[in-house]
Structure 1
């Protein structure tokens, strides 16, 4: 029996959360080893396990993978969530790059003083794009009318922004229906339940631990 993927990261969302989402949506069980001290992080670096000196780090299929987008694209391809051909794959890449950009804007906000936080541009820049995509093709999923990495990550982004503004989808009826539809896929529904490996919003303790480990 193949070993479960092992995820090395902080005990929180950050760049690893999309990896957790993708594995959970694919129905893949995974283990986690949390970085809680500077010494743990330095040991990973000293042992040469962090290609560019950064986490996330994912152990899978006898490899040690770093760089978030590389990890996600490998998992999407491995679990048949990456389209049927190159044209579908590049659309998935465009959509997931967009949602990753949006989610990173929100994520870095936790590390800024309140006065420095920027208003999310989800309503004006990102969500209108996905509303138009759904309207133009009239299908249930973003690419090829088949469940893919793009759908998983868009749902993650929607829920992330809704934590900041519960009414963010009020002007996007197709995205609201999309959210309901994707949330009810059995593996995702399970991941959204209490007790799953989904991480909560970052709090002051998480921010302090990350700052201590990364020394910034």
Structure 2
């Protein structure tokens, strides 16, 4: 059974959900929420517990809250670890990637240059050395925990791709383990298929920002 994602016509907080579905090999389509009446209809139908997107309709469930939804699909794809210690480490590191990624979510909404300047000056120097060190210590050729793909990897993949796209690949050069990690992730067939598909949305631009604001205000 395929899933249906309801979200704005961009990446935003739904991107980690898309990555988790892709990695778990769950087929999905997206309904782009571009008009206020679409959003209001979902709320009226009681599908948005907290009145927020993203929403994924799957097997009779209305899945909301992006991290919970990502974990749900990661569990289906056996991406949460092979034992209790791995599960704990994956969850800790995944939450760390969410803190890291949150610096880029306002891109466009809080300015374009302003968000990137803040990321370069304070956020990247805080997080990338940590993840570079963890990758080096794990020594598993491109995975944060254990020897296979996990939800923590998907979280770091999302923010690494963002850095590469918005700031350029040179921003990752001081972190060779992260560079290798990104290469390994891109070689994963399921992830590669998603990244080159129409389901992969474009980076935020002025059109997208205006569209989201129109829906929400």
TM-score norm. by structure 2 comes to 0.92
Structure 1 segments, 4+ long, off by >3 Å, are 113-118
Q: Does 1:199 align with 2:201?
A: yes
Higher helix share: 2
SS across alignment from 1:119: helix
* Alignment map for 1:94-133 (pairs within 5 Å): 94-113=92-111, 116-117=114-115, 118-120=117-119, 121-133=122-134
2:187 counterpart of 1:189: no
CA contact (8 A) 2:108 2:204 kept: yes
Query: 154, 168, 173: which one pairs with 2:171?
Result: 168
Cα offsets for 1:141-174 (capped at 9, x unmatched): 1112121111122112101012222111111111
1:40 paired residue number? 38
Q: Secondary structure at the match of 2:124?
A: helix
**TM-score relative to the length of structure 1:** 0.92
| CA gap 1:154/1:114 in 2 versus in 1, 3 angstroms | closer
- Give the aligned CA root-mean-square deviation in angstroms: 1.5
Q: 1:176/1:122 Cα in 2 relative to 1: closer, same or farther (>3 Å)?
A: farther
Unaligned stretches of 5+ in structure 1?
none
* Count of matched residue pairs: 212
Contact 1:21 1:198 in 2 (8 A): no
Following superposition, the deviation at residue 47 of structure 1 comes to 1.3
1:5-40 deviation line (CA, Å, top 9, x unaligned): 110111111111111111112222101111111111
Point out where structure 2 has 5 or more consecutive residues left out of the alignment: none
Deviation, 1:101, is 1.8
1:145 to 140, 144, 147: 147
Q: Per-residue displacement from partner, 1:111-135 (whole Å, max 9, x unpaired)? A: 0135753521443111111111112
Counterpart contact for 1:22–1:72, Cα < 8 Å: yes
**Which residue among 6, 9, 13 is the counterpart of 1:8?**
6
- Which of 64, 67, 71 pairs up with 1:66? 64
